[in-house]
Amino acid sequence: MVEEIIRIERLDKSFSGVPVLKNINLDIKRGEILGIIGENGAGKSTLMKILAGIYYPPTAGSIYLHGKITDIANPIEARRLGISLIPQEFNLIRDLPVYNNIFLGAELMKNRVVLDNAAMRRRTIELLSRLGVSISPDAQIENLSAAQKQMLEISKALAFDSEVLIMDEPTTMLTHYEIDILFRLVRQLRENGMTIVYISHKLKEVKALTDRVAILRDGEVVHDGPTADMTTLQMAQKMVGRELSSLFPPKNDSAEDQVVFEIKNVSVPGILHDVSFALRRGEVLGLFGLVGAGRTEIAETVLGLRRKSGGEISINGKSADIREPRDAVGFGISYLSEDRQGSGIITSFSVAQNTTLVSLPKYSSRLFHRIDKRTEHEQVDEYIREFRVKTESQDKRLENLSGGNQQKISLAKSIDTKPGIFIIDEPTRGVDVSAKHEIYVFINKLVKENRISCLLISSELEEIIGMCNRVVVMREGAVTGELGGDAITEENVMALATGVVEDKSA
Amino acid sequence: MNANTGERQGFNIEKWGAPIALAALLVIAAVVGWPHFHKPQNLINVMRQASYTGIIALSMTFVIISGGIDLSVGSMAAFCASVGVLFMNWMLGNGLGEFWAVVCGGVAASILIGGVCGAVNGALITAGKIVPFIVTLGTMSIFRYLCLQMANAGEFASKSQLFSRFGAAALFQFTASGHRISLPIPIFALFILAAILSFLLKSTRYGRYLCAVGSNAKVAQYSAIRVGRVRFWAYVVNGLCVGVAASLLAARFNTVSTPNFGLNFEMDAIAATIIGGTVMAGGRGTVWGTVIGCFMLQIIQNMLNMAGISPYWQGVVKGIVIIVSVFIQKQKQ
């Protein structure tokens, strides 16, 4: 008999009068992996934050834990009750070693006064070996990969004997191989009786991993049932509430032979080794690699943010000397950052201010550089219409917009300089399915109508396969190969990215 | 299209908080300081006294919006004023007679030196990549002790009679309800500079970049903004304003007492900026808010004076006001 751990009954949550969750009813059973999916803004994270005690109290409704009505008033209370949340952004302190991080906030003490470092270290080794991961307890956080950090967050949950582990978008930062390891681990935790709530955008993963799936739309549960009964397409349709054709638009067919942008033998000590490739007019060139392969570092070198020790960048056949991002803009290069909040947009700036941040010289007078706010306003309105950005006004701060809408503004910002070469780094990270589709359509439209050549940097194989005319694959800072047309397959790309040819029978 | 944003947010405390606080304070002061506070001459005195640090606070607003701080402004004021007075005396001692040109030369020297001092701060912060707090803590000491060394810890008295006339000068004499009123030059300087800096901040590319750099320097860098230059100019503008304030104050006293001139100005300037609603972490703020902030500080002091409260308690109240105003700002977030 499956035992029920958590029951959520008629739960409502509003923020300043705006309902985010409406009449949620959901059971979570012991030893199951429950997938929770929904578009950005559907209320997934809010629901989970209520369970983890971060949002308290709910506007209405109740939560039962082991059949008893329970108040989860704060995160410490949640942890005491056996509920752990692994947030999208990890909560790790960079300057502390692994074992201190695991016991952060619940340090083991000697005589109630002194930290018992030896005991914490010992327990850490136990925990990590239980998870079957090889991380030194003394390692510094900054030296760990994203996957290893994820493992640490899981160890933290184990250290507190959690019964319920909530994972919010755990695979965003992980590579294919790391995801496999994570999945094995999650299944193993389930065997040991742990309950896992798995929040994700990636339907394929939800399909592969979860036992049951609950779908949220506009703050309501629109579906709750066994995962096996649904295809990913059905899931996507339930999520957006309409029929979805294919995620990717028809492939771009406007590639020409003329090279517009070329990187020749570029090296950055310790990061890039003798990298060369060429981008042709009107094509979408993919740049694929696992984490640490040096994809983003190439973009940063092109922008002049990293100093190269050798090699040359040429634009339309002429050598281009780029020392700072301003020079790159001058050469018609534009960059969409992979780290939206870190280096893409200013969340406290308005929609309009973000959109024109790079192209501001275009809107300002010669004298005093006075900004022509009317032209700015008109242009931004045009982008809002074109991208179908959901915002009440262009004066709204970006922090009040969803991830997908933020990304659209980030895109508008990048193309407002009218670039000829557009480097797009992870354009759909943290973006929901329908916004993803819109972004793909838009990239192809840019290439076709505006004759822009795109370098699409991505760690999502699907995206590379669905979008690119050619793909350059990197591993450990070097180009390992180039594929075109029908040769762009999952196997071929992964073989180049890992240096290992996968066994087809596996 | 953008008219209806206020509706859902309701009351916009960021925009109206400081003016409302000022209005409330004026009412309180009029009651506590009855029957003297509300008299025109007193109000003009309050404004004049607020102007000297007020002018510095205007540009401190730029520095704080850029994500920095400038602790050196008080010492810098002493240094600028000393150089200005020395330059005037030198001109007078070298055969130039008492002309307004000499006064202008002295004022120009002060402002120029202020710009140079600001450039030194800015260069150390941007090219030297040292945090603003440390750089300006260092230059605070350097500027002060340079003057003390030059004056042997004494004072520089101006030999120009015109300079002190400039310090006492007022414009727009008129009569209101039986009082003869005139507006001193520092008040004009404050409002003119506030108008210029507010224009720079709100309507020009530089102002937009300044907020961008203060909000998120990395985004600014990726957006092809020259982060270092934007920061550098904030310190130069600050230095220029310090030069203006220093020459006005020196003219008022007709002398520069090197140990005391501009002492604690950095505290008043930073306090006025913060009370005026500028975010300490950078990225957001208004120049007019800062003007209100420095008037508020001065009104509180004036009111407590009239109520016969000791200057020591006044200092305590000032500290409380700073903390409470930041606390109120935090609540709305």
In this structure, the number of other CB atoms found within 10 A of the CB of residue A188 comes to: 13
Cα A396 from Cα A350, distance rounded (Å): 5
Strand segments, DSSP code E, in A212-298 are 212-217, 220-226, 259-268, 272-280, 284-288
User: CB–CB of A461/A494 below 8 Å?
Assistant: yes
Judged by CB atoms closer than 8 Å, whether chains meet at A325 and B224 is answered as yes
Q: Which amino acid is at A92?
A: L
Q: Name every chain B residue with its beta carbon within 8 A of the beta carbon of A343.
A: 216, 218-219, 221-222
Instruction: Name the closest residue on chain B to residue A415, using Cα atoms.
Output: B223
Which residues touch A163 (CB under 8 Å, ≥6 apart)? A5, A30, A82, A83, A194, A195
Alpha-carbon distance B9 to nearest alpha carbon in chain A (angstroms) = 9
Edge-to-edge strand order for the sheet containing A164-168?
A83-86, A164-168, A195-199, A33-38, A212-217, A220-226
**ipTM of the predicted structure?**
0.86
Cα B240 from Cα A318, distance rounded (Å): 44
Cα A233 from Cα A245, distance rounded (Å): 9
What is the residue-level pLDDT of chain A in tens, covering all 506 positions?
468 899 999 999 887 667 789 899 999 999 999 999 987 668 888 899 999 998 888 999 999 999 899 999 998 889 889 999 888 777 788 888 898 888 887 788 888 888 888 999 998 998 888 777 788 888 888 888 777 888 888 888 878 888 999 998 888 777 777 788 889 889 988 998 899 999 987 888 899 999 999 999 888 899 999 999 998 888 888 887 765 557 788 888 888 999 999 999 999 998 899 999 999 999 999 999 877 788 999 999 999 999 999 999 999 999 999 999 999 999 999 999 988 888 899 999 999 999 999 999 999 998 889 999 999 999 999 999 998 888 889 999 998 887 788 999 999 999 999 999 999 999 987 777 778 888 999 999 999 988 899 999 998 888 899 999 999 999 889 999 999 988 998 888 888 887 765 444 43
pTM score, whole prediction: 0.80
B229 touches chain A (CB under 8 A): no
Q: Name every chain A residue with its beta carbon within 8 A of the beta carbon of B208.
A: 353, 357, 360, 371
A341: three-class secondary structure by DSSP: helix
Q: Which of residues 168-207 of A touch B (CB under 8 A)?
A: none
- Angle of helix B287-306 versus helix B185-203 axis, rounded to 10: 150
Which residues touch A141 (CB under 8 Å, ≥6 apart)? A92, A93, A94, A95, A96, A97, A98, A101, A149, A152
What is the longest distance spanned by two Cα atoms in chain B? 69
Q: Strand A195-199 relative to strand A33-38: parallel, antiparallel, unpaired?
A: parallel
Tell me, what DSSP letter sits at residue A342?
I
DSSP A245-269: --SSPSPP----S-EEEEEEEEEET
Q: Name every chain B residue with its beta carbon within 8 A of the beta carbon of A303.
A: 222
Cα A279 from Cα A470, distance rounded (Å): 9
- Tens digits of residue pLDDT in B268-316: 999 999 999 898 899 999 999 999 999 999 999 999 988 889 989 988 9
Tell me, what DSSP letter sits at residue A343?
I
Pair of tokens at residue A448: 């076709």
Interface test with B, best of A302, A338, A369, A410 (most B CBs within 10 A): A369
Cα A441 from Cα A430, distance rounded (Å): 17
* Alpha-carbon distances, residue B180 vs B39, B44, B167 (angstroms): 11, 12, 19
